[in-house]
Chains A and B, each alone.
Chain A
Amino acid sequence: MAYFSQQLINGVVLGSIYGLIAIGYTMVYGIVGMINFAHGDIFMIGGFVALITFLILVSIGLTFVPVILLLVLLVAMAMTALYGWSVERIAYRPLRHSFRLAPMLSAIGMSFALSNFAQVAQGARVKPVPPIVTGGYTLFERSGFAVQLSNIQIIVVITTLVLLALFTYLVSRTRLGRDMRACEQDQTMAALLGVDVDRTISMTFVIGAALAAVAGMMYLLYYGLVDFFMGFVAGIKAFTAAVLGGIGSLPGAMLGGLSIGLIETMWSAYFSVEYKDVAAFSILIVVLIFLPTGLLGRPEVEKV
């Protein structure tokens, strides 16, 4: 039981990170109807920007950890958001009303370019950072196994919850959120009613990238390393999460993220670490056989 509780905690933390990335996939899909393959690499860029900002802040003599974290968070979100915006402008906007596969391949190309860019600019080796946030609590101890909840885990989960609350408010209560929902339903009609579609789509990418940057920073804090290749694996996992939850559905993305995080952790804990990804992908396939539009996706009604 103690072991299980520990895995549960680990799974939820991992799932939160996946969920934050998955929201970016699902938002873009909802509005533009395309898979933003470069999103995983945006997450990776977020991790790198966070790392570099952190190094600079430490070297100029900042020592108060909360201030460092806050500054790193802000810089990472802002700069990664600009990456998201640029990617949309360069690779997707010219293909907005094109053939469906063209933007997808353009996105795959962008993904390759971004990961190779990070590799060339920052080197291929893994970048380790010393633990920034340390300490934690022992929740309970049973038969010699102590269930730990570290401070960093608390930070990850709380940050995710706060961002989710903000994000839900943004989508459901603000002008931008209304515009986004309108564009999701019908871009032409939204444009006729005075919604600036280009701007709304840009903002979608910006918000998605900012959330991915947060995920990147959390990843850096939690695992203590970044590398240029992490975007691919995390991206595929998060995309799997988005699809599992039902692509286009925001609660679905979070639910999918948590499911993938839990499946991965539990499988590693009880079966084999090597096959954890195989388990996650297999469960995705099994779920889609029975629910072809994911857990919370709207069932597709075939108009005849």
Chain B
Amino acid sequence: MSAVPASSAAHDDILAVSGLTMRFGGIVAINDLSFTARRGEISALIGPNGAGKTTVFNCITGFYKPTSGDIRLTHSDGKSYVLQSLNDFRICKVAKVARTFQNIRLFPGLTALENLMVAQHNALMRASGFTLMGLLGMPGWRTAEKAAIDLSSYWLERIGLFDRADEAAGNLPYGDQRRLEIARAMCTEPALLCLDEPAAGLNARESGELNELLLSIRDDRGASILLIEHDMSVVMEISDHVTVLDYGVKIAGGTPQQVRDDPKVIAAYLGTDEETALAVMEGDA
């Protein structure tokens, strides 16, 4: 487990979700949820299937408009953004929130390198003078393009795909695709990286590599990460803070250790009530 001091001055809240409610027709997917994620930390959102985790993600990243509630993101320079009132693409472009998807959404027909180049679209767009200067091949554009390729190469190396840079993303093995998607999100230079079940479908070795990658992203780049995960080995090993969701309601929050010992959490995962869960735990012990 990583030992990051919880009360350092640099560690303020990057994301504050308060009173988030999302209804689909008559179904309440999320009910009055509040939690925070701290800057430079890895925060996890866990819960059983159907607890509403992905819905929370979709609200944060602008794919759903929440029924009510407030999602506020604060950059390290103090600038603050109200995410639910930003258009979907502006959440990444302006508020600098990048995400990955539960079922990988790479551009399968583009190469790994091209995937990372697409992620730098906004920066490159400015550099190409909104296409015009690029069309004429101005030197400013060429420098910017080279810088973008360099950044892509850096990330390809980080995820061990440098040699396969020119292969179609759709041809890469599953585990590589997962890491490439994370690298692609990082190429947008995000303030907050949201990962939707990054370890899903990975074997133990790949999952271990993923842990290292995420920890190094946090430590080297000072990035803040919010992740949804089923795989407890990932959550427990790398998270600094865990929020537990069940039926759209927050049922616990704290360090991985605190959460692990919370009878409410165990009850939710076992699908029983608290007393039974306590009995099970005592029986275990």
Contact = CB atoms under 8 A, between A and B. Distances in A.
Chains A and B touch (C-beta atoms under 8 A apart): yes
Interface of A: 302, 304
A270 to B, nearest CB: 40
A273 B120 CA distance: 53
B66 to A, nearest CB: 14
Interface in B88-123: 101
B81 interface: no
A304 B54 CA distance: 9
A158 to B, nearest CB: 40
A281 B5 CA distance: 65
A304 B228 CA distance: 14
A298 to B, nearest CB: 14
Contacts of A302: 63
A304 B88 CA distance: 13
A1 B86 CA distance: 51
A282 B34 CA distance: 47
Interface of B: 54, 58, 63, 101
A127 B54 CA distance: 62
B98 to A, nearest CB: 14
Contacts of B63: 302, 304
A301 to B, nearest CB: 9
A302 B62 CA distance: 12
A302 B64 CA distance: 10
Contacts of B58: 304
Nearest to A303: B103
- The main secondary structure of chain A at its interface with chain B is loop
A304 B99 CA distance: 11
Nearest to B57: A304
A99 to B, nearest CB: 12
A302 B63 CA distance: 9
A2 B176 CA distance: 72
A304 B101 CA distance: 7
The 3 tightest CB contacts between A and B, nearest first, are A304-B63, A304-B58, A304-B101
Nearest to B103: A303
A275 B54 CA distance: 49
Contacts of B54: 304
B65 to A, nearest CB: 12
A302 B54 CA distance: 13
Contacts of A304: 54, 58, 63, 101
Nearest to A301: B24
5 contacts: A302-B63, A304-B54, A304-B58, A304-B63, A304-B101
A302 B58 CA distance: 11
Nearest to B54: A304
A101 to B, nearest CB: 15
A139 to B, nearest CB: 45
Contacts of B101: 304
A299 to B, nearest CB: 11
Nearest to B55: A304
Nearest to A304: B63
B196 to A, nearest CB: 9
A252 B63 CA distance: 29
Nearest to A302: B63
A17 to B, nearest CB: 37
A163 to B, nearest CB: 35
B140 to A, nearest CB: 36
A70 B238 CA distance: 77
A303 to B, nearest CB: 9
B71 to A, nearest CB: 16
A291 B131 CA distance: 34
Nearest to B105: A304
A200 to B, nearest CB: 29
A304 B63 CA distance: 8
B104 to A, nearest CB: 12
A253 to B, nearest CB: 26
A166 to B, nearest CB: 34
B108 to A, nearest CB: 14
A178 to B, nearest CB: 27
A132 B49 CA distance: 66
Nearest to B64: A304
A105 B54 CA distance: 39
A167 B172 CA distance: 48
A210 B58 CA distance: 46
B181 to A, nearest CB: 14
